[in-house]
Chain A
């Protein structure tokens, strides 16, 4: 008995010794260690994939369009702190998604990730056999170019919101002292970005030689043109900047415009990009193809310089239902003001205001035209209106709600109030299905009674599944032409400016512009690039914020009266939201009070 006991004790101890060999000697099972990732070119490339994803997109519930005078994001009748002119550093309003003003500062995380990549990428070839080294080096050089491009892009996005920034070209360490880090001047920031993009352009190959979706030489040059144009503009280069964080101290205007022009020209000269043919002069086809262009699933169009693709099967999707009219099950966000609709020309290229006047006291649209005799202000307009905006009677998609389908079998947007009268007495009144008076989902209607169409997927049904995989375009060739035209114009080369501006108008099926070229360019860009995250930067760099924010925030009220077989329709501009209030501090976004508390050495933007 005792013998057995001792054997058992012995065995117990053996086991215990075994079990305490070291149960703690473990590594994580769901990730790689540092060494592995930057020792293998394929893993490093996957790191790059994460960076591409972190470039984000503009499909957020609050889109950049709402920052400008294009439209609003609020479904309600109020406007936000920024537009009220009440913004302070600790109450900034705004939203935090990708490159929206608040979000942009948070994207320093992307810069940190890129810097980690750049700090390691050049060592990768050293780990390979000599025979393989040159091939690997070629790959890593290209990847370096991609990372530099992304750093340039990210910095340019943040810079256009905040001005001069803390500049980092190496990864920050946990143990670093950040108390001495201050903002570089605007000029230094621009130079930093340009230098990144220049180097990237050197390393990158043209779009046709890069895998679709990756950075390209064209993209590097185009983003460089965009930031140089921004830098050369009035906001930062007219010599009146409050300080060197938000402008050049002593700008050489000609040199700045020349740099911007040359950068745009470099893209044009590559000869690899072209404007998509939308079928002009067939305006109906232009309307269709212009809409279709933004519904692409890939970036193969030669007009698309750089964008982001999605894939439903991998759950890489964007929720789109948020912009749909409420009667189609949408959330009715990010709709345009009526003033945006009024900006679109007539189909013959003449100004809308030459044909319709708005009664200043009642807001009623009155036809004063001699060429277009109908009373409907939405008729016979620039074909791009029909591709960009959903208004009453615009065709959209089949409605899913069965009772709506009966009323509206073809899926036309309906925001009009229909009144039936007999002998002067109202017998019934029907509100539009896409208004706040609708019987269903009314709270999701916007106050403007106008919805966005551009960059929406009419194949998606919010009631079934509101997600889409259409692309987000970061930059397209038309913008390059605008940039080139503008820089030429500023340098006094009006003929070239005219030529390039008309290229865009003509492509849309409109004749050459008439009148003042600056006015024409501002107008044309607002219309062509509606909803494409241009307008807020443009009205700031052109320093026309006060003018832009002084336009009333209008919507449209349409009333149709049927009396004794006669139909009378009136279109009335209504105030859809309180007026904006302009203050000078609206030109630059404030760094948050919380960030200033963390880094008191940071100087905030003027007015904060």
Chain B
């Protein structure tokens, strides 16, 4: 029957089917075709060129220019001035060399890192390691060259000063030189390293450690859609190396960034495993809306920095100014470019690195102890005229708390100590293999990160597995394709009760209540079933959050035959994320001491009360299970045509045009069951169908972009770059606002290339001026605001028996005109190196005016209209600041040291937003930074009634209350007395200082990081009968005996005016700090030892993160804790910071290559 149908297939269906087959075919082809960016040079390169009667040196240069190969030879051994004629067509380097040196008795050997050694045949090149046993002979020197991290360096050129004689190090970094004249000096040079000179003297073994030069002038860095030599970069671009990223023993890459890059504000908000990533702001807050930067991983925008394995990252570049402009509509908040490692032609190279660590909170708020707390409660009650007989704690009680001898009735509980373990573990392990043949290179890795929660009874952990395979195939001389597959699995377990609940309850925990009785059973709940020592564990159930991510990138580069420099490349990526979360909660048991019976039995509080403990159920009476899954797919296409050409040796031209599109779809399902008969089977089927529910939903997103870039430089001295991007987003309507065009232009002048400079300012080796201006966009707002649409909402319960019907409600009032927010960014700066490249000094100054910011006009549209407002393009914010970097690196003999500091400042000002006319002129927030606080100003503490009477005060004020400044001098405290405090939770000033000190195999390196003053609210609504006071508030508080106090009297929750309606700056803590962010000491095992262990090299180290504060203005908590930096905290709102504390980590680890 089916055959019949096939035969009778109508024409149009046939064509449809054909088109479908074609589509599928193209997609399969496409997978093999596209390529992202040529960050790695393929080694299995084939050459096509014709050299007629050219010098050997020129041919070799031709090969070097067109590949990653480098040749090493000694002039007296290899005659490179000989003229040859070579025709290569699809020839490998070996074939070419065979031709050139045919009959010349020159042999060649391809080493690791694409190094080719040329030496006279038979007399094998002295460096090739086999015959090092020679040595004692006069005039022979052997040795080994390593970098500061202990890695051996192959390919280092060693020349006897004043001669043309020399050699290069072999694959193991070893070298041998013979026939060395007396008093000779060896000069060691290597790309990216500082040149070193060593006087031989009587030594016959010289091991050298090469230090990186202050500025790797030849360094190539990743910029948007390509790479550039660092000297040619004219944008404000900062990079972080793999070494810096892996120095910190942390599981989230973002936590390794703080202090490393000027202008990048990084703060870790909390320490909870799985959500302890840092929040990142580039050059502060420039918009009233979303300030988060765009993350691009291997060319694919929208990546997640924290699901990557730090060791996989080759480099990270931050684009801060118009250099981000090539990312158009998503670039306004800056761009973070991440490139992962790729393989190179070599034998398989294995490397393992791992560390095991312990972590403990950096800083916990100290709480009042039992006698202090009870005393404060007595004081508080006395201010409310409670008679002695009705006091909650008698003086006798306080004596008992103090004595500590009555643990059953008068405990003195330190809740932090009872709930938290002293240390929790953290571990990071990973192994990678890379290498390749002529046609295929690979990098593959496996990583494992684990972090454990700090609770004594711990239900919190984070586990991540990463796997990655980056493959590059060279199909032929025209085609390269790359296939990158990477995946991660994240298993995040947490307590059923929210973390903020646990941490606020720890602080609420009265020290006069037991967390555990002396016999180890858990004490009563602090409020409604919540006992932090128990709910932080697994007794109330479990909560799992797992996600499975698969990222695949297919790239291809096609050199268009016949047109040199013209390359077509494409990328297709397919990312899938699958999330499963599951939460199962049930009742648990807490114990109450039957105090009355216990005392009646003649006990005093000292005697064992186990017999009087009564168990009771807490938490939901019936077990409940919630489960949800989400599945999202992001597809990304990119096609790019580029052309690079050097005209007349000096005019370097580069250009490309490209298009890109992406498509995102996410779907989810959720279900809930309760009334489980048993907690044994926490699965859906075992729950009851009574009161069950199921749900699900979907969301989508898409983008389409066209863009291009033109770069030109003359002799690498005059540099010019122009980019243009046109972006379309479904966030905005097709009729208006969908498409945005974003141009940027950058210019640079490498002044130090000019003759006048060379002749006059010799101590400055390198100096480049740069300027840029660009327009970039931001579209991080809710989609479809241009449409009138109706969403599902809470409905009503109707009928008898009751039936729930969902509701439909208008989602928003449409704004058909909604469009991009635009950043106009100007940057001016210079880069320089001085004193033989030992000192580097760079600075950038920026000014940004963000306009058309999408904000709601809540302040001018009256509430009585009933309109729920859409975002409108009208806000304006100015942001300006600077970044300065200064570095010095030096090496004297076996000793090397370096010091690199950076400091950045960014200050924003609201120029226009929708603000109601301020009550008083000094209260208008326009003209101040975002997040500025509107508070009363505190002037100290009323010492006595006399002072209260003589000072304008809030009605009901009494001695011990906070004195509020009568700002407008009208004799009373009203709203008009509030003033603006510009400092807020986002630091304006940030700095980092990294240092390293190396001696022989030892290396000490560290990072000091910090921020200028912030204001954060760490005071809580607590304190009083319900919860404990901070020890900070107890010390030097006002009492009748201490009237000249610096802190106010004991209070009850928010009942005092200065704790509710009249918040003052007293309620905020200053947060300037500098901390030893990272400190590491490492030892590279001597070669003799590693050899015997069959290792190439090995290093052991001890590393610590967040080690200590150099200074800290915050007296209560770690100053970094709080809200994410970019979050839209309302003006004058509170940041209470009831979060899991930030951890300090001590770890020991090894790095091995074999």
A interface list, Cβ under 8 A from B: 1-2, 5, 8-9, 11-12, 14-16, 18-20, 22-24, 26-34, 36-37, 43, 46-53, 74-78, 81, 84, 86, 88, 90-91, 105-106, 108-113, 115-116, 165-166, 168, 172, 174, 176, 178, 181, 211-214, 297-300, 308-316, 321, 329, 400-407, 417, 429-431, 436-437, 439-444, 461-466, 593-595, 597-599, 602
Contacts A18-B26, A108-B865, A443-B1025; A29 near B792 (Cβ below 8 A): no
Indicate if the CB atoms of A34 and B864 lie closer than 8 Å.
Answer: no
Verify if B1027 is at the interface (C-beta below 8 Å from A): yes
- B51 interface hit (Cβ, 8 Å): no
Q: Which residues of B contact A74 (CB under 8 A)?
A: 1055
Question: Given A90-B975, A298-B800: A436 and B863 within 8 A (CB)?
Answer: no
Other than A174-B813, A402-B594, give 4 A-B pairs with Cβ distance below 8 A.
A22-B704, A24-B702, A51-B807, A212-B798
Q: Cβ of B917: which chain A residues have Cβ within 8 Å of it?
A: 597
Contact between chains at B558 and A316 (CB < 8 Å): no
Q: Which residue of A lies closest to B22 (CB)?
A: A14
Does B478 touch A at the CB level, under 8 Å?
Answer: yes
- Is the Cβ of A212 less than 8 Å from the Cβ of B561? no
- Known contacts A309-B798, A314-B693: does B594 contact A406 (CB below 8 Å)? yes
Q: Does the CB pair A91–B1061 fall under 8 Å?
A: yes
In the docked arrangement, what's the CA distance between A599 and B860, Å?
A: 8
How far does the alpha carbon of A594 sit from the alpha carbon of B923 in the complex, in Å? 14
* Chain A residues with CB under 8 A of B700: 26, 28-29
- Docked Cα-Cα span, A344 to B568, in Å, equals 90
Q: Is B865 a contact of A172 with CB atoms below 8 Å?
A: yes
Establish whether residues B808 and A43, one from each chain, have CB atoms under 8 Å apart when the complex forms: yes
In the complex, whether B162 has a CB less than 8 A from a CB of chain A is no
Contact of A310 among B729, B789, B797, B861 (CB under 8 A): B797
A46 touches B806 (CB 8 A): yes
> How far apart are A445's CB and chain B's nearest CB, in angstroms?
8
Q: Check B783–A28 contact: CB distance below 8 A.
A: yes
On whether the beta carbons of B808 and A595 are closer than 8 Å, the reply is no
Partner among A29, A49, A311 whose Cβ is within 8 Å of the Cβ of B698: A29
B-to-A contact residues, CB < 8 Å:
22-23, 25-27, 29-30, 33-34, 384, 389-390, 392, 476, 478-479, 513, 524-525, 527-529, 558, 560-561, 568, 570, 587, 591-597, 614-621, 637, 639, 659, 661-663, 690-693, 697-700, 702-704, 728-730, 734, 738, 783-784, 787-811, 813-815, 859-870, 916-917, 919, 955-956, 974-975, 1024-1027, 1052-1055, 1061
> A401 to chain B: which residues have CB within 8 Å?
524, 592, 616
With beta carbons under 8 angstroms apart, the residue of A23, A31, A53, A462 that contacts B704 is A23
CB atoms of A444 and B1026 under 8 A apart: yes
* Also in contact, A46 and B659, with CB within 8 A (given A113-B866, A172-B866, A463-B618): no
Q: List 22 A-B contacts (CB under 8 A).
A: A9-B568, A11-B26, A12-B570, A14-B26, A15-B26, A23-B661, A24-B702, A28-B700, A37-B790, A49-B796, A50-B808, A52-B798, A88-B975, A90-B975, A105-B864, A109-B863, A112-B866, A174-B867, A314-B804, A401-B616, A402-B594, A595-B862
CB distance from A550 to the nearest CB of B (A): 19
> In the complex, what residues of B have CB within 8 A of residue A26's CB?
700, 702, 730
In the bound assembly, the distance between CA atoms of A47 and B118 in angstroms comes to 83
Which residues in A have their C-beta under 8 angstroms from that of B916?
594, 597-598
Among residues of B, the one whose C-beta sits closest to the C-beta of A32 is: B790
User: Is A442 in contact with B1025, judged by CB distance below 8 angstroms?
Assistant: yes
Question: In the complex, how many angstroms separate the beta carbon of A141 from the nearest chain B beta carbon?
Answer: 19
**What residues of chain B lie closer than 8 Å to A300, measured between beta carbons?**
800
Q: Which residues of chain A have C-beta atoms less than 8 A from B592's C-beta? A: 401-404
Q: Do residues A211 and B798 form an inter-chain contact, with CB atoms below 8 A?
A: yes
Contacts of A28 in B (CB 8 A): 699-700, 783-784, 787, 789
Q: With A and B bound together, what is the CA distance between A78 and B703 in angstroms?
A: 57
CB-CB nearest in chain A for B858: A598
Main secondary structure of the interface of A (DSSP, over half): mixed
Query: Chain B residues with Cβ under 8 A from A429's Cβ?
Result: 389
A168 CA to B587 CA, complexed, in Å? 51
> Which single member of B596, B802, B867, B975 contacts A309 (CB below 8 Å)?
B802
Partner of A76, one of B790, B806, B1055: B1055
Q: What residues of B have a CB within 8 angstroms of the CB of A27 in the complex?
A: 784
Please tell me if the beta carbons of B790 and A598 are within 8 angstroms of each other in the complex: no
CA A88 to CA B974, docked complex, whole Å: 10
Q: Which of B690, B866, B870, B919 contacts A110 (CB 8 A)?
A: B866
A602 to B786, CA, bound (A): 31
Contact status B790-A34, CB under 8 Å: yes
**A447: nearest chain-B partner, CB-CB:** B384
Min C-beta distance of A216 to chain B, whole Å: 12
Q: If the complex has contacts A313-B692, A405-B614, A443-B1025, are A11 and B738 also in contact, measured as CB distance less than 8 A?
A: no
Contacts of B974 in A (CB 8 A): 88, 91
CB < 8 Å neighbour of B528 from A112, A313, A321, A436: A321
Complex Cα spacing A53 to B525, Å:
35
- In the complex the two chains form, is B793's CB within 8 Å of A430's CB? no
Considering the chains assembled together, what is the distance between the CA atoms of A49 and B803 in angstroms? 12
Of the candidates A2, A405, A440, A465, the one whose C-beta lies within 8 Å of that of B620 is: A465
With CB as the reference atom, state the residue of chain B lying closest to A183. B864
Complex CA–CA separation, A429 to B393 (angstroms): 12
Closest to B600 in A: A428
Closest A residue by C-beta to B916? A597
Cβ A30 vs Cβ B568 within 8 A? no
Does the CB pair B595–A403 fall under 8 Å? yes
- Assuming the A-B contacts A5-B561, A24-B704, A403-B614, are A49 and B807 also in contact, with contact meaning beta carbons closer than 8 angstroms in the complex? yes
Are B792 and A437 in touch, CB under 8 angstroms?
Answer: no
Q: How far is the CA of A300 from the CA of B802 in the complex (A)?
A: 11
- The interface residues of chain A lying within 8 Å CB-to-CB of B1054 are 76
Residues of the B chain whose Cβ atoms lie less than 8 Å from the Cβ of A315? 693
Contact B597 A406 (CB under 8 A): yes
Q: B866 touches which one: A23, A108, A321, A461 (CB < 8 A)?
A: A108
Q: Closest residue of chain A to B513, judged by CB?
A: A440
Q: Is B1024's CB under 8 angstroms from A443's CB?
A: yes
A53 lies within 8 A of B795 (CB): yes
- In the complex, which of the residues B620, B621, B693, B793 contacts A313, with contact meaning CB atoms closer than 8 Å? B693
Question: Across the interface, do B862 and A24 meet the contact criterion of CB distance under 8 Å?
Answer: no
Q: Which of A8, A33, A406 has the most CB of B within 10 A?
A: A8
| Cβ–Cβ contact A113 & B809, under 8 A | yes
A384 to B479 Cα, complex, angstroms? 90
CB of A32 within 8 A of CB of B798, answer: no
